[in-house]
Structure 1
Amino acid sequence: MPFSVLFVCTGNICRSPMGERLFAARTHGYDRAEIIATSAGTNGLTGYPMDLPSASVLREFGGDPEGHSARRVETADLDADLVLTATRDHRSALLRIAPLAFRRTFTMREFGRLGSGLAEPADPPDEDGLRARVREVAAQRGFAVPPDDPALDDIGDPYGGSMELTRLAGRQVDDAVDAAIRALGLPAPG
């Protein structure tokens, strides 16, 4: 069974599709596990393409926005092996729907932060190894040093903002995706 990663933001037209597309591009070709990345929004603008500035920034970071169609998160989506949200508020909203997803649900930045202190796995992980790695990261809650400001685990919404704000969000998503890949024990993006 493939290892599934769900990225979530508000409208599913900026941050979460950036995360999904960058993660998919950077894990493409990994041959030890089948990995599937998807995205959705807590208030998904169903059927909409990516926001144009966000699509432009995604291209700058090496992702492809073509074919994206926004959708609203559904309860079944929360069965993903790893759920990465843009903000703590998104994480809270999802956990109200599916409290048992707590050990698999993090903000994008939180997951990388919590996993940064873990040793690299002895062998490249397969699907079960990736699931075990998510459990290892979850076990760091309460032990890892929290950020000085909890808001540092959030990625702000660039929708309707300046191109500078969109690039800032894009850099934060880009960094968070790379940190999540490292936390999972996958090869560093090339």
Structure 2
Amino acid sequence: MKRKKVLFICTGNTCRSPMAEIIFRAEIKKRKIKYVDAASAGIFAENSTAISPQSAACLRQMGLDYSKFKPRQLKHKMIESAFLVVCMTEKQKELLNGSGNVRSVREIAGFDIPDPYGYGDEAYRLTAQLLCAAVDAIIREYFSPAGSGQTLCPVG
């Protein structure tokens, strides 16, 4: 079976989408879903940047490895090759002329994931918690309707 890729999109690919990618990978591994993978990119990413220190701290607190992560600029071919593209906000979906395989977190989970950049540690912890709920909703809707509830996400 060909692996289905979920592509998470945010603005700079340093805060929200990398956390979503890494949390999603951990969840599909935990739930033993083998035919799915994840990636992330930023609409306005700079390839020379790194994951934000606050995002890294949240992932560390969850016991998740982010050491191989490198921010990437979104390319059209990434969207075309993904099974599902998940934008953190409705606005980002609009920027991508979202249709077909492009969805927003709001459409799947009922809420946007606001950008925590510049708002301090508590905003990043809240972002991680929202991403855990969003990842659970994505997995339930697309990959494992029966398996839900127990996520990796006690961040706080």
1:183 aligns with 2:134: no
CA distance in structure 1 between the aligned counterparts of 2:33 and 2:115, rounded to whole angstroms:
34
CA contact (8 A) 1:13 1:45 kept: no
TM-score by length of 1: 0.70
Larger Rg: 1
How much identity, in percent, do the aligned residues show? 33
Deviation at 1:64, TM superposition (A): 2.1
Aligned residue in 1 for 2:119: 161
Aligned residue in 2 for 1:6: 7
Deviation at 1:69, TM superposition (A): 0.6
CA distance in structure 1 between the aligned counterparts of 2:78 and 2:40, rounded to whole angstroms:
9
Aligned residue in 2 for 1:83: 85
CA contact (8 A) 1:15 1:157 kept: yes
SS of equivalent residue, structure 1 residue 58: helix
CA contact (8 A) 1:86 1:155 kept: yes
CA contact (8 A) 1:49 1:67 kept: no
Matches of residues 18-167 of structure 1 in structure 2 within 5 Å?
A: 18-28=19-29, 33-79=34-80, 80-95=82-97, 102-113=99-110, 153-167=111-125
Spell out structure 1 runs of 4+ moving beyond 3 A: 29-33
Q: Is there any run of 5+ residues in structure 2 with no aligned partner, and where?
A: 152-156
TM-score by length of 2: 0.84
Q: Is there any run of 5+ residues in structure 1 with no aligned partner, and where?
A: 114-152
SS of equivalent residue, structure 1 residue 174: helix
CA contact (8 A) 2:87 2:103 kept: yes
Kindly provide the amino acid, as one letter, of the partner of residue 86 in structure 2. L
Deviation at 1:31, TM superposition (A): 5.6
Q: 1:79-111: CA deviations, max 9, x gaps?
A: 21100111111111112xxx6xx1211112422
Q: 1:121-178: CA deviations, max 9, x gaps?
A: xxxxxxxxxxxxxxxxxxxxxxxxxxxxxxxx32111112111111111111111111
Kindly provide the amino acid, as one letter, of the partner of residue 107 in structure 1. S
SS of equivalent residue, structure 2 residue 96: helix
Pick closer, same or farther for the CA change 1:14–1:185 going to 2, 3 Å: same
Deviation at 1:32, TM superposition (A): 6.0
Q: How many positions carry a matched residue from both structures?
A: 146
Deviation at 1:185, TM superposition (A): 4.0
SS of equivalent residue, structure 2 residue 57: helix
CA distance in structure 2 between the aligned counterparts of 1:62 and 1:85, rounded to whole angstroms:
25
Aligned residue in 1 for 2:154: none
The RMSD of aligned alpha carbons is: 1.9
Deviation at 1:30, TM superposition (A): 5.7
